Amino acid sequence: MNYFTHAMIHYALLLFLIFRLCTCLDTISIKTNPIRDIDNTVLVSSGETFALGFFGEPNFRYVGIWYHKIPGQTVVWVANRDNPITDSSGFLSIDTTSGNLVLYKTSRINQTVEVVWSTNSSSACSPASDCVAQLLDSGNLFLLHNINKHVIWQSFDYPTNTRLSNMKLGIDLRTGVNRFLTSWKSDQDDPGTGNYSYRIVPGGSPQLILYKGQIPSWRAGHWNGIGWSGIPDMAGKFLFNVGFVNDNNEISDMWGVSDLSILSRLVLNESGVLQIFLWYKGAERGWNEMWSAPTDRCDQYGRCSAFGLCDSSNAARFECICLPGYEPRSPTQWHMRDANHGCVRKPGSSICSKGEGFVKVTNVKVPDTSNVTVISSSLSLKACKKECLRNCNCTAYASANISKGGSGCILWHGNLTDTRKFTSDGGQDLYIRVDEQELAQYAKKPNGMLASKRNRIILVVSCVTIFFSITFFAYWFCKRKRKESSKEKKLDESERHSDLPFFDLRTLITATDNFSATKKLGQGGFGSVYKGQLVNGQEIAVKRLSKHSGQGMEEFKNEVTVIAKLQHRNLVRLLGCCIHKEEKMLIYEYLPNKSLDYFIFDASRRSHLDWTKRFEIVIGIARGILYLHQDSRLKIIHRDLKASNVLLDSAMNPKISDFGMARMFGEDQIQENTKRVVGTYGYMSPEYAMQGLYSTKSDVFSFGVLLLEIITGRKNTGYINGSPFPNLIGHIWELWKGGRVLDIVDPILCQPFSAQEEISKCIHIGLLCVQEGATHRPTMSAVISMLANDTTLPPPNTPAFIFNQKTSHNADASTSRSGEAASLNSVTITTLEAR
């Protein structure tokens, strides 16, 4: 062999190696060799950003595109994702008859060649040799006509789980191609079609929605003129170019980075999370995840169901509230933080040409727009409102395009689903249709209110009316004054005959130093209490009732007379009353030892009360309540049982005070329902707090809370360090389930071991009293029997977790109410339910 032939052979070998390893070509045609799995050949784009070839486990071979230079083979597209080749026989070439790009495999048994995947275009080239496949530097794989450069097929039209810069999602109405992302089955090794998809949904105002199967899991929302409404942080970001086209040709979304030196990809991962990754010069840890969605609880589609509003700004609070004019369909579930039943319009609202209007909710992702009506982009917001008012089925409206102050009109006619609040200045204004009364309520609030011209007129008319009324009233009052005082004398005389002592106002003024602040013992929902001393030395407590009882003089007197007859050693004794013009006062025996809360919630004072004493107190309270519920001639529901309403006499015997108050002040007599909720947070049963339903079982609930407080020395509303629960009941329930309930018992009670069994029993009884369902709670007589006897107790059901939040359904999301809860802890409050 001469030197020349030797050199030729070496040269040929080198050429072979170069062809084998260096794959500089970015096109496949009939003339080029196919891309063969067995050869390890890859197709590389001209700028060497992307490569196309075979990847996967030896028995699961796929054709895909990945970043050529970035280590770790990040696959961005897969051809045969659901149809892997089980050996290395696969090859990719242009089909000689149709001109399509086809992936073949060869059967080992009979050597026949089969199609695994194909671009499947009917309009490929003739002759087929004119067709070439080309991998572009954008990551797009083209099948194109080599002569006229017409693109027949492109991989960007058939995305898998990754969206690259400048790739459109959405529908091409001319070709019917719908481009959407679908997750892999497994991020590690199975690119097969997974359960999640992210797509543009036409209809109404088109939206981008992430689905799990057929069920929406997150909504990027509709295009609001500057961005997708559910992704306010992505709109107008310097890094990205975003755009939306909705015309006769297509409904599509464009997305890309403006800086070409940055590589970006949006991935729908296997767990249904969208992630944006960036790769840039100097990126040390490789791909940097810059964004992901869904993230918080409010991102979950329909988190708060129909007519709910999700606001996750306060992590401690339930994130769901009802939109203005709506209330929870199932208040009990709602209180358990279960929003599945959503909200319904408050009963009795009339929203059809009865003076209704709109309340503005700011900074929201507007509800699902799949069934909305969109009206011409030039319509003003005012015209939009008019349009909504015209149709009684219209529940809300918003501006369709919020760029440049807002134009266009979206009208909702049915359920408002998946509305969420954004904390920052993102989102847009949504106008909710409410009835006249609700409108008036919001009119009183400075923020978030849409004050229409109509409302202003109403306001002026009202002011004028009020002015004239006052003038007239003053005149009438002066005329009446004389008549009144003579009538009062007559009343005084008839009162002498009843058994109840009537006190003279002057007597009480003297006794209390003219109701001086130094004599004030406390303040409750019904008025203030003063200490006094009569001329004969007897100490009294004077309750000066607030003036808005809504009750006439005669009825009040009758009521007091009846209640004064109630006598029980565990009820504070009513000594008499005083009525003078608008003043109404009740005079009680004075108890020197203050109230139960003064002792049990104080670290040093509660040591005066050992278990024996506390048990006696519990029994005493229970007997007092039982007397009110069934032993007296009247059935009285206390409605405001709490530690501060249990007074202690000199021998530390409990005496319930304020009984009969609810009766005197209740608008309706003792029956199921009231609009006026009187009570104290932390002690109110869920059905009473939420629906105004009360019965003897609401008192049983309050008793249960009180019992648990006496045992633990803790307030129900107080937070327990390290507890995941907002209140004592929840905490005790958790310990109870874990069999560790004695952990929470006031340590000074655990001294004699013999007491532990009785304490456990009392906690058990307490838990029976605070059960969620009123019917499950025992009656007061059953409670006394359980306390006194050794019977087997039924296991308690889940208690009601009454959370420390305002119960009136105020959905004006623009005013924060986080500060209110704390101040409501210990004072008695009176809520007028908004109707």
Ligand X SMILES: *[C@@H]1O[C@H](CO)[C@@H](O)[C@H](O)[C@H]1NC(C)=O
Q: Does 489 bind ligand X (CB under 6 A)?
A: no
Q: Which of 40, 120, 607, 671 binds ligand X (CB under 6 A)?
A: 120
Contact present, 23 and 43 (Cβ < 8 Å):
yes
Which residue, 48 or 289, has its beta carbon nearer to ligand X? Answer: 289
Which residue, 137 or 270, has its beta carbon nearer to ligand X? Answer: 270
Contacts of 176-179 with CB under 8 Å at 24 or more apart are 179/252
Residue type, 30: I
- For residues 519 and 599, give the distance between their C-alpha atoms in angstroms, rounded to a whole number: 21
Concatenating the DSSP letter of every residue in 329-356 gives: SSHHHHHTT--TT-EEEPTT---SSSS-
Which residue, 110 or 486, has its beta carbon nearer to ligand X? Answer: 110
Q: Does 123 bind ligand X (CB under 6 A)?
A: no
User: Least separation, in Å, of the C-beta of 382 and ligand X?
Assistant: 17
Query: Residue 274 corresponds to which tokens in the numbers above?
Result: 């969208």
- Token pair 């007519």 is at which residue? 307
Q: Does the annotation mark 26 as catalytic?
A: no
User: Least separation, in Å, of the C-beta of 615 and ligand X?
Assistant: 49
Contact positions with ligand X (CB under 6 A) in 334-353: 342
Could you tell me the CA-to-CA distances from 350 to 354, 509, 812 in Å, in that order?
Answer: 6, 50, 20
Q: Which of 40, 126, 376, 377 binds ligand X (CB under 6 A)?
A: 377
Which residue, 289 or 539, has its beta carbon nearer to ligand X? Answer: 289
User: Least separation, in Å, of the C-beta of 439 and ligand X?
Assistant: 21
Q: Where are the alpha helices (DSSP H) in 565-640?
A: 596-600, 611-626
Which span (13-21, 89-97, 102-110, 256-264) binds ligand X, by CB under 6 A?
102-110
User: Least separation, in Å, of the C-beta of 215 and ligand X?
Assistant: 10
444 annotated among ligand-binding-site residues: no
Which span (3-11, 107-115, 437-445, 666-674) binds ligand X, by CB under 6 A?
107-115
Which residue, 390 or 605, has its beta carbon nearer to ligand X? Answer: 390
Residue 807: phi and psi, rounded to 5, are: -95, -20
Contact present, 643 and 706 (Cβ < 8 Å):
yes
Query: What would the x/- binding string for ligand X be over residues 155 to 194, using CB under 6 A?
Result: ------------------------------x-x------x
Tell me if residue 766 falls in helix, strand or coil.
helix
Which span (10-18, 364-372, 504-512, 550-558) binds ligand X, by CB under 6 A?
364-372
- For residues 257 and 137, give the distance between their C-alpha atoms in angstroms, rounded to a whole number: 15
Concatenating the DSSP letter of every residue in 30-55 gives: SSSPPEETTTT--EE-TTSSEEEEEE
Query: Residue 633 corresponds to which tokens in the numbers above?
Result: 């001639």
Which residue, 249 or 391, has its beta carbon nearer to ligand X? Answer: 391
Q: Does 797 bind ligand X (CB under 6 A)?
A: no
User: Least separation, in Å, of the C-beta of 274 and ligand X?
Assistant: 8
Q: Does 371 bind ligand X (CB under 6 A)?
A: yes
Question: What is the β-pairing status of strands 215-222 and 343-345?
Answer: unpaired
User: Least separation, in Å, of the C-beta of 65 and ligand X?
Assistant: 16
Query: Residue 261 corresponds to which tokens in the numbers above?
Result: 């030196």
Which residue, 377 or 523, has its beta carbon nearer to ligand X? Answer: 377
Which residue, 122 or 604, has its beta carbon nearer to ligand X? Answer: 122
Tell me if residue 17 falls in helix, strand or coil.
helix
Q: Where are the alpha helices (DSSP H) in 751-799?
A: 755-769, 780-788
Q: Which of 368, 559, 658, 687 binds ligand X (CB under 6 A)?
A: 368
Residue 403: phi and psi, rounded to 5, are: -75, 140
Q: Which of 88, 138, 370, 593 binds ligand X (CB under 6 A)?
A: 370
C-beta atoms surrounding 216 within 10 Å:
19
Planar angle of CA 80, 85, 86, nearest 5 degrees: 150
- Token pair 């918080």 is at which residue? 296
Which residue, 109 or 478, has its beta carbon nearer to ligand X? Answer: 109
User: Least separation, in Å, of the C-beta of 442 and ligand X?
Assistant: 24
Contact positions with ligand X (CB under 6 A) in 276-315: 289, 292, 305-306
Say how many residues touch ligand X, by CB under 6 A. 34
Q: Does 217 bind ligand X (CB under 6 A)?
A: no
User: Least separation, in Å, of the C-beta of 89 and ligand X?
Assistant: 11
Residue 59: phi and psi, rounded to 5, are: -100, 0
Which span (250-258, 366-374, 522-530, 537-545) binds ligand X, by CB under 6 A?
366-374
Q: Which of 5, 97, 112, 494 binds ligand X (CB under 6 A)?
A: 112
Partnered with residue 531 across adjacent β-strands are 541
Residue type, 151: V
HEC per residue, 534-578: CCCCCEEEEEEECCCCCCCHHHHHHHHHHHHCCCCCCECCEEEEE
Which residue, 158 or 515, has its beta carbon nearer to ligand X? Answer: 158
Which span (349-357, 370-378, 727-735, 790-798) binds ligand X, by CB under 6 A?
370-378
Considering 190, 253, 418, 640, which one is annotated as catalytic? 640
Give the closest residue to 655 by CA, choosing from 690, 687, 627: 627
User: Least separation, in Å, of the C-beta of 88 and ligand X?
Assistant: 15
Helix, strand, coil share (%) of the chain residues, nearest 5: 30, 25, 45
Partnered with residue 143 across adjacent β-strands are 133, 153
Q: Which of 225, 331, 730, 796 binds ligand X (CB under 6 A)?
A: 225
**What H or E segment, with its residue span, contains residue 786?**
helix 780-788
- For residues 832 and 667, give the distance between their C-alpha atoms in angstroms, rounded to a whole number: 12
Q: Which of 59, 107, 471, 516 binds ligand X (CB under 6 A)?
A: 107
Tell me if residue 750 falls in helix, strand or coil.
helix
Contact positions with ligand X (CB under 6 A) in 264-283: 269-271, 273, 275
User: Least separation, in Å, of the C-beta of 120 and ligand X?
Assistant: 4
User: Least separation, in Å, of the C-beta of 403 and ligand X?
Assistant: 4
Planar angle of CA 412, 349, 834, nearest 5 degrees: 110
Which residue, 61 or 629, has its beta carbon nearer to ligand X? Answer: 61
DSSP state of 807: -
Q: Which of 5, 97, 110, 792 binds ligand X (CB under 6 A)?
A: 110
**What H or E segment, with its residue span, contains residue 486?**
helix 453-495
Q: Does 129 bind ligand X (CB under 6 A)?
A: no
Contact positions with ligand X (CB under 6 A) in 400-459: 401, 403-404, 414-415, 417
Q: Which residues bind ligand X (CB under 6 A)?
A: 107, 109-110, 112, 117-118, 120, 185, 187, 194-195, 225, 269-271, 273, 275, 289, 292, 305-306, 342, 368, 370-371, 377, 391, 393, 401, 403-404, 414-415, 417
Q: Which residues are catalytic?
A: 640
Which residues contribute to the annotated binding site for ATP? 543
Mark the binding-site residues, compressed into ranges. 543
